Structure 1
Amino acid sequence: MNWMFQKREVKPSSSPLLDKEWRPVPWNAKAEYLQFVRGFEPFQPHNDEKNEEQCIRILLHGPTGHGKSSFINSVDTILQGRMTGRALADTIVGNSFTKKYTTYKITKGAHGTFYPFVFNDTMGLEKDKGVLEEDIKLAMMGHVKDGYTFNPHSTLSTDDLYYNRNPSLNDKAHVLVCVVSAARVHLLSQELMTNMRNVRREASDLGIPQMAILTNIDVACPEVDANLRNVYKSKFVKRQMEVLSASLGIPLNCIFPVKNYHSEIAPNDDLEMLILMALKQMIHFGEDFVNDCKCT
């Protein structure tokens, strides 16, 4: 009997998911990561003659409505063990809901004690209506006092009451975090990308480490919405991370996809694990920067 063998054409998989995670996640290590964050203590930089306790300052920036305030609330929720909403956020896409430069401390244990890291929220980047690049740069250098109201048309002047003439190391940003929605990366204008690159370039000149948070991964990808553990299997999410990396110049290993608390009213371990991974890296970067910084 003669057999006819035909070569089958192997078509590329049309599945939206990879066979395995391209970045391993210790999904069952939430308690370990929480222990790290809760055990992180105030410290003194090696060369700080004042022997002053140092706080890690994490400065968030990015386009309007991409989840900066929601990320702060999500971290606060995780560490408080209950839903919080101190950083006011808006679900309507439009003008930036954040108007003032605000420092958010997170309460730790007894009343009056706080975690040794803080978040600074900024007005969103938006054409003609958002924060100016120069104001973000001044904030990085510690020249902006808490409570300053951002003006989309003029930068903070040196004679303003909210201008800090002599910033200490504690006033300066120690980590710069760009926050971008995975569902809207493709909608960002070239002008906005240029703004964010310029801010990143200034941070690099100051020696400040940079990261990016990719929010709304559940909105962007149905497979991730169905199961958060698909985040590093999702081809779409990986592509958005690669686009953001190529556009801003931030290395892929410094970009963390997350889902902020939004509709949930009960704790979600997988959601919290992704946020804790990002938070731990922010703390490491900030501590390294402070210890390496030469106080003048």
Structure 2
Amino acid sequence: MSVVTSSLSGDQEKKLLSLFGHVRLSLLYKASVQGYTAAAFHARCNSQGPTLVAAYNKAGFLFGAYTSKDYTQNGQPINDDKAFLYSINDERKNPLRVSSANGQYGFTDENTGPNFGALVFLFNDTATVQYNAGNSYNFEAAHMHGDDLQLTECEVYRVEELGGCLTKTWRNMQWTSERKRQLKEKIKNYKPDVKSVSQARVLLVGPVGAGKSSFFNSVNSIFRGNMTSQAICGSAGTSLTTQFRTFTIKSGKSGEPIPLILCDTMGLEEASGAGLDMEDIVNIYKGHVQDRYQFNPMTPLSEDVPGYRKHVSLKDQIHCVVYVVDACRVSLMSAKIVEKFAAIRKKTNQIGIPQLVLMTKVDEACPLVSEDLQNVYMSHYIQRKVSRLTLECIPVSGILPVKNYSQELELNQNTDILILSALDQMLNYADSFFENQPEEEKEEL
């Protein structure tokens, strides 16, 4: 499965955003990948709230339509006084914006492609647009689409209101060099309250591309004092991590390992038989999977397979599970990925392992946070994303926004503090796991 990416150029996106207030565009549907059909469009765009159709042609026009209403296929005309058609091209400095003739009509909610009366996209399940002159929206065809109704691409974006800064932070955070020093020292000096365990083991679980491997590299960079890339990461459509890896982090290039092991796995994937298997997850939890075991998505690990650890103790088990999700994709996770998360949470609860959520890429999700990472707990948008992400048995207090290092060449204090704060919470949750173990399985120090 290839990665679905936007075809918008930087200039086109800037012009599109100028049609709105403070919003973010999230790609829902791309016809060249998912198909030039009404069924493919509705499967991904129904009940998604405000959306924007973006159609491309060889004449160099980007044109389409916006509605603030849901697509539901009810067969009725939908009134929407916020709806409009638009057109962008290189020769025009500002976008053309056209409201409906009566100021009320939005679109007709049929089992077709997006039908805005004057323009019907994906007409007859083809890469074309039907133009109906004088129908609902009035414009000159040459100005709207250059008389070219054959599409080279058609995309639909969710239009999400970002809001501004809150008047008060929704979580307190100290952004000082002293706080960074305190967190690093606390993590380096952590000691599990179980004599047989010297390092807490934290398992990272999440969809492909969520940032699990990047998080480890970021943690390693902080404690090494320079950028590192030990874990393989990237933007492929399938998991680049194909082995179970246990990463030890050293304080400095030749320093002692810190008392924390981060475990990385294959990413979760939509397709059945792809990505991490539930039986493999349970084996990882119980400590049966050895480092560098090569996952086989078609056949879970069993006792007779090399890489299976038969004799395990508390130190081999997972002490905290962290679900890694992309802040840009919180509202766009497929039903299959949500189902897989639910199944994993249920099994994790049964085994009794504490769980946290790591929300990555907060800077990409919100421009205010991109401008200044200290705005992460002032951002109305990030707060809303966190509240929507609240999973069963995981309260808001268990959701940790972070920014991984990706393009930087130098460490940043604010980035370090967010990541170190997340590590601190992981160790706190690991302590809860140790405290819940039967007394006969642990010895007090």
TM class by shorter chain equals: 0.7 to 0.9
Check conservation: 1:174, 1:208, Cα contact below 8 A: yes
Establish whether residue 121 from structure 1 lines up as the match of residue 121 from structure 2. no
Choose the corresponding residue for 2:205, options 45, 54, 61.
Answer: 61
Corresponding residue number in structure 1 for 2:248? 105
Structure with the bigger percentage of strand? 2
Establish whether residue 268 from structure 1 lines up as the match of residue 412 from structure 2. yes
Check conservation: 1:244, 1:250, Cα contact below 8 A: no
Check conservation: 1:178, 1:211, Cα contact below 8 A: yes
> Could you list the per-position Cα deviations for residues 40-63 of structure 1 after superposition, in whole angstroms to 9, with x for gaps in the alignment?
24x451xxxxx5342100000010
Establish whether residue 183 from structure 1 lines up as the match of residue 328 from structure 2. yes
> Could you list the per-position Cα deviations for residues 108-167 of structure 1 after superposition, in whole angstroms to 9, with x for gaps in the alignment?
358473111101100000023211122112111111111111122221122111122222
Check conservation: 1:125, 1:131, Cα contact below 8 A: yes
SS in 1 for 2:294: coil
Which amino acid is the alignment partner of residue 151 of structure 1? N
- For 1:269 and 1:221, locate their aligned partners in 2 and report how far apart those are by CA, in whole Å: 19
- For 2:435 and 2:393, locate their aligned partners in 1 and report how far apart those are by CA, in whole Å: 25
Tell me which moved more, 210-219 or 148-157: 148-157
Which amino acid is the alignment partner of residue 267 of structure 2? G
- For 2:334 and 2:373, locate their aligned partners in 1 and report how far apart those are by CA, in whole Å: 28
Displacement of 1:220: 0.6
- For 2:293 and 2:162, locate their aligned partners in 1 and report how far apart those are by CA, in whole Å: 50
Corresponding residue number in structure 2 for 1:233? 378
- For 2:425 and 2:224, locate their aligned partners in 1 and report how far apart those are by CA, in whole Å: 20
Counterpart mapping for 1:1-296 below 5 A: 15-28=163-176, 29-41=179-191, 43=192, 45=194, 51-90=195-234, 92-108=235-251, 111=254, 113-128=256-271, 129-246=274-391, 248-294=392-438, 295=441
- The 1:219/1:109 distance shift into structure 2, 3 A limit, reads closer
- For 2:394 and 2:323, locate their aligned partners in 1 and report how far apart those are by CA, in whole Å: 10
> Could you list the per-position Cα deviations for residues 69-95 of structure 1 after superposition, in whole angstroms to 9, with x for gaps in the alignment?
0001111111111111111111x2401
- For 2:362 and 2:197, locate their aligned partners in 1 and report how far apart those are by CA, in whole Å: 37
Check conservation: 1:99, 1:122, Cα contact below 8 A: yes
Larger RCO, structure (CA 8 Å, separation 6 or more): 1
- For 1:37 and 1:260, locate their aligned partners in 2 and report how far apart those are by CA, in whole Å: 18
Which amino acid is the alignment partner of residue 283 of structure 1? L
Give ranges in structure 2 of 5+ residues lacking alignment. Answer: 1-160
TM-score w.r.t. length of structure 1? 0.88
Displacement of 1:264: 1.1
Which amino acid is the alignment partner of residue 54 of structure 1? S
Check conservation: 1:67, 1:181, Cα contact below 8 A: yes
> Could you list the per-position Cα deviations for residues 217-247 of structure 1 after superposition, in whole angstroms to 9, with x for gaps in the alignment?
011111110111111111211111111114x
Which amino acid is the alignment partner of residue 241 of structure 2? T
Check conservation: 2:354, 2:432, Cα contact below 8 A: no
Corresponding residue number in structure 2 for 1:48? none
**Number of positions where the alignment pairs a residue of Structure 1 with one of Structure 2:** 276
Tell me which moved more, 79-88 or 285-294: 285-294
- The 1:226/1:99 distance shift into structure 2, 3 A limit, reads same
- For 2:338 and 2:311, locate their aligned partners in 1 and report how far apart those are by CA, in whole Å: 31
SS in 2 for 1:184: helix
Tell me which moved more, 272-281 or 197-206: 197-206
- For 1:134 and 1:201, locate their aligned partners in 2 and report how far apart those are by CA, in whole Å: 13
- For 1:280 and 1:94, locate their aligned partners in 2 and report how far apart those are by CA, in whole Å: 31
Which amino acid is the alignment partner of residue 32 of structure 1? Q
- The 1:259/1:240 distance shift into structure 2, 3 A limit, reads same
- The 1:185/1:228 distance shift into structure 2, 3 A limit, reads same
SS in 2 for 1:183: helix
SS in 2 for 1:58: strand
Check conservation: 1:78, 1:272, Cα contact below 8 A: yes
Displacement of 1:15: 4.1
Give ranges in structure 1 of 5+ residues lacking alignment. Answer: 1-12, 46-50
RMSD: 1.9
Displacement of 1:185: 1.2
- For 1:64 and 1:133, locate their aligned partners in 2 and report how far apart those are by CA, in whole Å: 16
- The 1:171/1:224 distance shift into structure 2, 3 A limit, reads same
Corresponding residue number in structure 1 for 2:151? none
